[in-house]
Amino acid sequence: MIGYLTQNYPLIHTFAPRSPVRRTRQESLTRNRVIKMAPKLSDFIQPEEIIAAKGSLDRPISGLVMDSRRVAPGNLFFALPGLRADGGYYIDEAINRGAVAIVTQKLPLTAPAKVTFIQVADPRAMLARVAQRYYKFPDREMNVIGVTGTNGKTTVTHLLQHLLNGEQRVGLLGTISYDLGARTVPSFRTTPESLDIYGLLAQMRDHGCRQAVMEVSSHGIDQQRVLGLQFGAAVFTNLTRDHLDYHKDLETYFAVKMRLFTGATGSRPKLAVVNIDDPYGERLTAAIPDGVMTVTYGENPRALVRAEAVTLGFKDTTFRLVWPQGEMLVNSPLIGRYNVSNLLAAVATAWGLGRDPAAFLARLRSFKGVPGRMERIEAGQAFNVLVDYAHTDDALRNALGMLRAITPGRLLVVFGCGGNRDRSKRPLMTKAVQEFADFTFATADNPRSESLAQIFADMQTGVTAPEKITWIEDRRRAISLALDVAKPGDCLLIAGKGHETYQEFVDTVVPFDDRHVVRELIGIKALKSE
């Protein structure tokens, strides 16, 4: 999937080919001068940063690249050690495609004269530093706000963008899309590679964005994708179980998230915004270094920015927003207690950056939500259908707990678990749906390269009430059966894929959008019953 998307995505880190045009002599001279002034390796790499080199550091380069399949002539290729492969293995391919310089952990015994080899201890860290210099430190010309946490990153970043958008557009990088100021493109990673981040931030800067909000995933922090990036603010939403396939245990996962706040990513944020309703948030506040302004938020009475008198409804949420200089009644179409937390995160950040929350009253009300997050599908049916991105046991518990409280009839759920991701959350997700739903249709999410039988087997270890779950491999069929079962007054939650428009199998990616499937099936069923 990722490959499929990036193939169609214009390269952002190599020079775009120019269309042939007639040039005046003056233009040609200017052009020649530009060629003479093409950036050289030594413009981005200092001798003291390298262990050894073979070849000249004065060599001009045409761009940076970390994937041999995307090398263009004149590029500097970073051979990154990976979890599955070693980028070093692809150096020959990169050279064959025209790479003129290689950053690597190991120098070759013999090197072709036309290529410079640069040995460094950590090529990923070097990539981030070089990318930041190559794109001329876009993070220093913008106020970049990074949002981390297990759940809520996408919601909070979109909310913040909505609150802060004014005369100058606010850029955004996250799970759904990248808003680059002049255009918005589909996202290929929640937190892109450092090379892409700096390239994308440069596009925002060049199109007049003076602020940017971005989701910072734990993978992104751990793989040094945000190394050196200067954050004007870092926000912590919460920490619950996920990604333990990668981090192994919750403490390690938390330690990785903490790096964004302590300076361990190479740069300290100016402002830390922390949810102290979450025990990990409480712990985080104690670890924030002196000199970083901290703003706490939550329903906790000790929070600087807090919500009181929360009223949860099926169509909207109301609460009293209290901050050190004032308070006001907020009404938002976002539903669920966790969205109070998301609203507070955004307001607390804006307040920490010097904005007056009172100015946001209308914008808080006009924010209609994020695609695929509790998205209501209305296609003429007599019961409620919601599509949501809950893909952890905590998110499922929150989502279903909230719907349970406001559903007069039965609560039905369609859900599955993604392949090649945290296996330990699968039985817990099954337990969560059984706690709240009257009936569950367990099905496929994105199996990726895992067998669905294996995923189902993991999910089944959490079954305590087998009579309340049916197992249907085909997601469309599962949704169809759930729609057949639903009656007026019932609520059907279709969880896990939210905004996603595809389903990923071992060697295919097929178009699949829960929202379209629901509308189509309701339409067909209505025709049949006429």
Ligand X SMILES: Nc1ncnc2c1ncn2[C@@H]1O[C@H](COP(=O)(O)OP(=O)(O)OP(=O)(O)O)[C@@H](O)[C@H]1O
Ligand Y SMILES: N[C@H](CCC[C@H](N)C(=O)O)C(=O)O
- The stretch near Mg ion (CB under 5 A) out of 143-151, 175-183, 261-269, 440-448 is 175-183
Verify binding: residue 219, ligand UAG, rule CB under 6 A.
yes
Footprint of ligand Y on this chain (CB under 6 A)? 190, 391, 418, 421, 445-446, 496-497, 500
CA distance 364 to 47: 51
Number of H helices, E strands in the chain: 18, 24
Verify binding: residue 153, Mg ion, rule CB under 5 A.
yes
**CB of 63 or CB of 498, closer to Mg ion:** 498
Q: CB 481 → ligand UAG: shortest distance, Å?
A: 29
Verify binding: residue 384, ligand UAG, rule CB under 6 A.
no
Contacted by 497, from ligand Y, ligand UAG, ligand X, none: CB < 5 to 8 Å by type? ligand Y
Residue 65's SS3 state is: strand
Q: CB 98 → ligand Y: shortest distance, Å?
A: 33
Q: CB 179 → Mg ion: shortest distance, Å?
A: 14
**CB of 388 or CB of 490, closer to ligand X:** 388
Pairing of strands 305-312, 271-275: unpaired
SS3 assignment for 104-155: ECCCCCCCCCCCEEEECCCHHHHHHHHHHHHCCCHHHCCEEEEEECCCCHHH
The DSSP code for 20 is P
Pairing of strands 52-54, 384-388: unpaired
Is 217 one of the annotated binding-site residues? Answer: yes
Contacted by 216, from Mg ion, ligand Y, ligand X, none: CB < 5 to 8 Å by type? none
Verify binding: residue 83, ligand UAG, rule CB under 6 A.
yes
Q: Contact with ligand UAG (CB under 6 A): which of 41, 45, 90, 145?
A: 90
CA distance 59 to 476: 55
Pick from 315, 347, 153: which is nearest to 238 by CA? 153
Verify binding: residue 68, ligand UAG, rule CB under 6 A.
yes
* Binding-site string for ligand UAG from residue 236 to residue 265, where x marks contact by CB under 6 A and - marks none: ----------x-------------------
- In one letter, which amino acid is 476? R
Footprint of ligand X on this chain (CB under 6 A)? 151-155, 175, 190, 215, 237-238, 338, 341-342, 373, 388-390, 394-395, 398-399, 498
**CB of 154 or CB of 237, closer to Mg ion:** 154
**CB of 61 or CB of 239, closer to ligand Y:** 239
Tally of CB atoms within 10 A around 281 = 22
**CB of 77 or CB of 439, closer to ligand UAG:** 77
Is 56 one of the annotated binding-site residues? Answer: no
- In one letter, which amino acid is 461? T
**CB of 80 or CB of 521, closer to ligand UAG:** 80
Q: CB 74 → ligand X: shortest distance, Å?
A: 36
Q: CB 440 → ligand UAG: shortest distance, Å?
A: 23
Contacts of 356 (CB under 8 A, 6+ apart): 325
Q: Answer yes or no: are the C-beta atoms of 352 and 293 closer than 8 Å.
A: yes
Contacted by 2, from ligand X, Mg ion, ligand UAG, none: CB < 5 to 8 Å by type? ligand UAG
Is 14 one of the annotated binding-site residues? Answer: no
Verify binding: residue 122, ligand UAG, rule CB under 6 A.
no
Contacted by 238, from ligand Y, ligand UAG, Mg ion, none: CB < 5 to 8 Å by type? none
CA distance 177 to 187: 4
- The stretch near ligand UAG (CB under 6 A) out of 5-13, 46-54, 63-71, 111-119 is 63-71
Q: Answer yes or no: are the C-beta atoms of 225 and 197 closer than 8 Å.
A: yes
Q: Which residue is nearest to ligand Y (CB)?
A: 418
Question: Would you tell me the crossing angle of helices 279-287 and 250-262 to the nearest 10 degrees?
Answer: 40
CA distance 353 to 133: 26
Q: CB 498 → ligand X: shortest distance, Å?
A: 6
Contacts of 12 (CB under 8 A, 6+ apart): 196, 199, 200, 203
Contacted by 189, from Mg ion, ligand X, ligand UAG, none: CB < 5 to 8 Å by type? ligand UAG
Q: Answer yes or no: are the C-beta atoms of 177 and 200 closer than 8 Å.
A: no
CA 187 centroid distance within chain: 8
Is 49 one of the annotated binding-site residues? Answer: no
Coarse DSSP helix, strand, coil percentages of the chain, rounded to the nearest 5 percent: 40, 20, 40
Contacted by 496, from Mg ion, ligand X, ligand Y, none: CB < 5 to 8 Å by type? ligand Y
- In one letter, which amino acid is 137? F
Contacted by 85, from ligand X, ligand UAG, Mg ion, none: CB < 5 to 8 Å by type? ligand UAG
Verify binding: residue 175, Mg ion, rule CB under 5 A.
yes
Is 318 one of the annotated binding-site residues? Answer: no
Residue showing tokens 């922090």: 221
CA distance 181 to 185: 10
Contacted by 446, from ligand X, Mg ion, ligand Y, none: CB < 5 to 8 Å by type? ligand Y
**CB of 220 or CB of 418, closer to ligand Y:** 418
CA distance 380 to 314: 18
**CB of 314 or CB of 502, closer to ligand Y:** 502
CA distance 117 to 131: 18
Contacts of 243 (CB under 8 A, 6+ apart): 218, 219, 253, 421, 422
Q: Which residues pair with 386 in a beta bridge?
A: 376, 493
Verify binding: residue 341, Mg ion, rule CB under 5 A.
no
CA distance 402 to 396: 10
Site residues for ligand UAG per CB under 6 A: 2, 66-69, 80, 82-85, 87, 90, 189-191, 193, 217, 219-220, 223, 246
Site residues for Mg ion per CB under 5 A: 153-154, 175, 215
List residues forming the annotated binding site: 68, 149-155, 190-191, 217, 223, 225, 421, 445-448, 496, 500
List residues forming the annotated binding site for meso-2,6-diaminopimelate: 421, 445-448, 496, 500
